[in-house]
Every structure is written in structure tokens, then in C-alpha cells.
């Protein structure tokens, strides 16, 4: 169903920054330090790095390749390379897009609220405990965080309506570099706080005894979430790629950029947690409490705090648009809706689905699902179940249905030889299906 006038990326660097923009977001700055904190520090980091190289990068290549071959949304692309029955995997991805964006936007909304709290001085020069009070007051309110969630969704919908090169590509090119510089500054401030070194060693020292199957599943889920894999975001961006693009090369850039930002965010949050005597395992609120306290301990902290939350919001928007784009591309290509109608209706549905996540921080905080607040449950289920299954099926489809030889010839259409083609094919066909299945089943059921 590829049509001739389908949009394409304007330039290689534009594509890489947009894909990195999809990958880099709350997953790096909010979720990664949270999961590190909950999973015992150094034990997690090591497992995570191994998984990103052995699973993350090969699957990123796989998704870009399916997308470029399919030249259409996730459902259509799977049908094209593997036959109509496999469209169902795409449907799983569209569902994951709905669920992830619903709670993602709630958390991003807190970040938008913080911009205003820095502007009004409410978050100026506070200690960790006082910031904690501001945070709890915000998130437990039944209305205010839903308002900010609505603002964030509106921005996302607005950019997606503008389309691929005018909206997504322009925003990413400009803003990602500024974010990087600010993160480096913050990491320097954080590791030089009094008492921060204990955190640094907790973060970096591998504790092999602590590695268990739950940590391995969390690391896998985090890798999928952070790389935007398993639900078609990277696949959909791949579908806008021209044939001359070198896919493995691009994937390596995107992945390394993403890992670097996550590890850097760890250097900001974890040392600060120790310096302020907070609990590293305290979950999703962590960064919203530690970070403003780090700013409070800095000269010109209010200015940097403001700048940081503006950039965090932008990083979150560039990810959110890729989540919404999966759903929208599906409605456009398969149901023939126009871009505006698809963006508005899907965006509205996602906004509504986010409401219970927001309420689960306040009035609904006693209603636990599998022992977790609704927001944490949505995140756990989408990342550790839906995304990892999406990755498993992607490997099976390439390895056993479409065949790795066909994938490799699609990759080599750029004119470059894919040097690691043999190990890549071996990983996708033999190792990935088994390893992913074992990790998912063990992590979930035992």
C-alpha cells in the first residue's frame, strides 16, 4: 500500500536526530534512573548494557529494515513482509502505543507543571523534603495534573498534524544538542555534592549477587522502552527512509546516543539521591524530587531548573510524537483517514486513557493492580510484556517468515555492504527468539 507521494525524511541527519529524539525522552531521564534505583544499582547497569548491544541494536536494525521495506505503518509493513496473518503483531504495537503514551503524557505533564513552578518561584531553592511536598501536592490533586496532561497531549497532537519533515524533524534538530550540554553540566554538579560518591559507587560497582531474573526482565523492558522498540515507532520512522540510507550505521548512532544520555542521567540522579539521603528505590516520583533539590543547591539554580524542565518537556514531546505517529500512521494508511482527523481522534482517546493513571497518584492510590498503582502497572505491562513480545515476534518474523537473507538484501540496497550480516542473522534467527522467550517467561511467571 505504499503510495508514491508518501512523505520522506528531508536529510540523513534529520532522520538520525528524529529517531534519536524518539529514543531519548522520559525513558532515559525519568525511567532509567528509576529502574536502576529499584533494581540495585550496578547490578542493573551491567545487564542493561549487555542487553542493549546484544538485543537492542540488532532489533533496531530489524525494525528499520521492515519499515523501509514495507513503506507503510506497522500493521501494513508486517503484512507486506510476512503475509496478512502477521498484521496482528502490528495491532499489538498500536495497542502498546496507546497505552504507553497515555501514562507517558501524565508524567510529561508533571514536567510541564514544573516549568511553571520554577517560573513562579515555587520551586526555588528548596531542600529535598520541601520539593517532595510540592510534588505530592501536585500529583495527588484530582484535576490539576490532568490539566497538564491535556496540555502535553495537545502539543503532541499539534506537531503530529504538521507531519514528518515540517514538524518532527525541525524540532529535533534544534533541541537535542542543547539538552546534551545541560545534562553534562548537571551531572558535574550532582557528583560534586557532599556525600555523592557513595551514590556513584553504588551505581557503578557491579553486584553480581543481586542479578536475578526480575532484574533481567526489567533491563530488557527498559531497553525496549528506551530504544522505542517493540511497538513500531522505529519501524514507522524507518518507513519514511529513502533506500540510500545505511540502516546499521544509523542504528548504531541512535543507540549510542541513547545509552549515553541514560547513563548520564544516572550520574545526575543517583549521586543526588545519596547526597540528600533519599531512597533510591522510591520509584516514579524520584526525579521530580531529587532534581529540583539539586538545582536548589546550585548557583542560579532557578534558571537552570527552568531550562532543564523546558528541555525535558521537549525531549518528551519528540518521543511522544513517535508514539502517536504509530497510531496515526495506522489510521492514515489502513483506514484512509486524513492526518488531522487521525491525530485528533487518537490523541483524544489517549488523553482519556491517561486519566486513571493520573488519578492513581492521588484519589485512586489505594486501588492497586498486582500490587502496583495503575500508572506503574500500565508501565510494567506495556514495557515488560507488550514491547518485549513485540520484539520477540519481530525476530521470529524476520528469522523464520520473511527470512534474514531478504532482510539483508533490503539493508544492502543502500549500496553499502552490511559487514556484520552473518552474526546479525544468527542472532535474529536463533538466539533472540530463545533468549527473549526465556527472559519473558521467567521474569513474569516465577
Residues contacting 405, CB < 8 A, separation 6+ = 425
Query: What's the rounded Cα separation, in Å, for the pair 403 and 138?
Result: 51
Residue with Cβ nearer ligand PHE (211 or 312): 312
Q: How far is the CB of 378 from ligand PHE (least distance, A)?
A: 13
Query: What's the rounded Cα separation, in Å, for the pair 36 and 46?
Result: 11
Query: What's the rounded Cα separation, in Å, for the pair 387 and 92?
Result: 9
Please report, for residues 301, 385, 436, the alpha-carbon distance to residue 440 in angstroms, rounded to integers and kept in the order given. Answer: 43, 7, 6
Residue with Cβ nearer ligand PHE (101 or 411): 101
Using CB under 6 A, which of the segments 44-52, 59-67, 220-228, 403-411 binds ligand PHE?
220-228
Query: What's the rounded Cα separation, in Å, for the pair 135 and 209?
Result: 35
298, three cell numbers: 546550585
Residue with Cβ nearer ligand PHE (28 or 139): 28
Q: How far is the CB of 323 from ligand PHE (least distance, A)?
A: 5
* 267 touches ligand PHE by CB under 6 A: no
Q: How far is the CB of 373 from ligand PHE (least distance, A)?
A: 20
Q: How far is the CB of 268 from ligand PHE (least distance, A)?
A: 16
Tell which one of 18, 100, 270, 324 touches ligand PHE (CB under 6 A).
Answer: 100
* 311 touches ligand PHE by CB under 6 A: no
* 226 touches ligand PHE by CB under 6 A: yes
Tell which one of 16, 21, 27, 222 touches ligand PHE (CB under 6 A).
Answer: 27
Bridge partners of 369, per DSSP, are 372
| Cα 401–chain centre separation | 28
Query: What's the rounded Cα separation, in Å, for the pair 258 and 48?
Result: 12
Tell which one of 228, 236, 313, 404 touches ligand PHE (CB under 6 A).
Answer: 228
Residue nearest to ligand PHE (CB): 27
Query: What's the rounded Cα separation, in Å, for the pair 108 and 100?
Result: 12
Residues contacting 350, CB < 8 A, separation 6+ = 98, 101, 102, 105, 153, 324, 327
Tell which one of 186, 293, 323, 378 touches ligand PHE (CB under 6 A).
Answer: 323
Using CB under 6 A, which of the segments 120-128, 163-171, 225-233, 327-335 binds ligand PHE?
225-233
H helix runs in 120-169, sequence order: 128-140, 144-162
Count of residues touching ligand PHE (by CB under 6 A): 15
* 73 touches ligand PHE by CB under 6 A: no
Q: How far is the CB of 282 from ligand PHE (least distance, A)?
A: 20
Q: How far is the CB of 262 from ligand PHE (least distance, A)?
A: 8
Asked if 170 and 18 count as a contact pair (C-beta separation under 8 A), the reply is: no
* 22 touches ligand PHE by CB under 6 A: yes
Look-up: residue for cell 513482509? 81
Tell which one of 17, 18, 20, 26 touches ligand PHE (CB under 6 A).
Answer: 26
Query: What's the rounded Cα separation, in Å, for the pair 137 and 201?
Result: 33
Site residues (vs ligand PHE, CB under 6 A): 22-23, 25-28, 100, 225-226, 228, 231, 233, 319, 322-323
Amino acid at each position: 500500500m505504499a503510495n508514491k507521494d508518501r512523505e520522506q525524511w528531508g536529510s540523513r541527519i534529520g532522520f538520525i536526530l528524529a529517531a534519536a529524539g524518539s529514543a531519548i525522552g522520559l525513558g532515559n531521564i525519568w525511567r532509567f534512573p528509576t529502574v536502576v534505583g529499584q533494581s540495585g544499582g550496578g547490578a542493573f547497569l551491567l545487564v542493561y548494557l549487555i542487553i542493549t548491544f546484544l538485543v537492542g541494536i540488532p532489533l533496531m536494525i530489524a525494525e528499520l529494515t521492515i519499515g523501509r521495506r514495507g513503506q507503510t505503518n506497522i500493521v501494513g509493513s508486517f503484512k507486506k513482509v510476512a503475509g496478512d496473518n502477521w498484521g496482528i503483531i502490528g495491532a499489538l504495537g498500536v495497542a502498546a502505543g496507546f497505552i504507553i503514551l497515555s501514562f507517558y503524557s501524565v508524567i510529561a505533564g508533571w514536567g510541564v507543571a514544573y516549568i511553571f513552578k520554577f517560573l513562579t518561584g515555587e520551586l526555588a531553592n528548596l531542600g529535598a523534603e520541601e520539593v517532595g511536598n510540592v510534588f505530592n501536592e501536585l500529583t495527588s490533586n484530582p484535576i490539576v495534573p490532568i490539566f497538564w496532561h491535556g496540555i502535553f497531549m495537545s502539543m503532541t497532537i499539534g506537531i503530529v498534524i504538521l507531519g514528518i519533515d515540517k514538524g518532527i524533524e525541525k524540532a529535533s534538530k534544534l533541541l537535542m544538542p542543547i539538552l546534551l550540554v545541560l545534562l553534562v553540566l548537571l551531572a558535574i554538579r550532582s557528583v560534586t555534592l557532599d556525600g555523592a560518591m557513595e551514590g556513584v559507587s553504588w551505581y557503578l560497582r557491579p553486584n553480581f549477587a543481586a542479578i536475578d531474573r526480575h532484574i533481567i526482565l526489567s533491563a530488557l523492558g527498559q531497553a525496549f522502552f528506551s530504544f522505542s522498540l517493540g511497538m513500531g515507532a522505529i519501524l514507522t520512522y524507518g518507513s519514511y527512509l529513502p533506500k540510500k540510507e545505511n540502516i546499521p550505521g544509523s542504528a548504531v548512532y541512535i543507540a549510542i546516543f541513547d545509552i549515553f544520555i541514560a547513563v548520564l542521567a544516572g550520574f545526575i540522579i543517583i549521586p543526588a539521591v545519596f547526597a540528600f539521603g533519599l531512597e533510591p528505590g522510591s520509584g516514579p516520583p524520584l526525579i521530580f524530587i531529587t532534581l529540583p533539590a539539586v538545582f536548589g543547591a546550585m548557583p542560579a539554580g532557578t534558571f537552570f531548573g527552568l531550562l532543564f524542565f523546558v528541555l525535558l518537556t521537549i525531549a518528551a514531546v519528540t518521543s511522544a510524537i513517535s508514539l502517536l505517529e504509530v497510531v496515526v500512521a495506522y489510521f492514515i494508511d489502513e483506514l484512509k483517514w486524513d492526518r488531522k482527523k487521525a491525530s485528533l481522534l487518537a490523541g483524544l482517546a489517549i488523553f482519556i486513557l491517561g486519566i486513571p493513571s493520573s488519578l492513581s497518584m492521588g484519589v485512586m492510590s489505594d486501588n492497586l493492580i498486582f500490587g502496583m498503582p495503575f500508572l506503574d502497572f500500565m508501565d510494567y505491562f506495556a514495557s515488560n510484556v507488550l514491547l518485549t513480545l513485540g520484539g520477540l515476534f519481530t525476530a521470529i518474523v524476520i528469522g523464520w517468515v520473511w527470512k534474514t537473507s531478504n532482510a539483508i538484501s533490503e539493508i544492502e540496497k543502500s549500496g553499502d555492504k552490511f559487514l556484520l550480516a552473518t552474526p546479525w542473522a544468527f542472532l535474529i534467527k536463533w538466539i533472540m527468539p530463545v533468549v527473549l522467550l526465556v527472559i519473558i517467561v521467567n521474569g513474569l511467571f516465577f
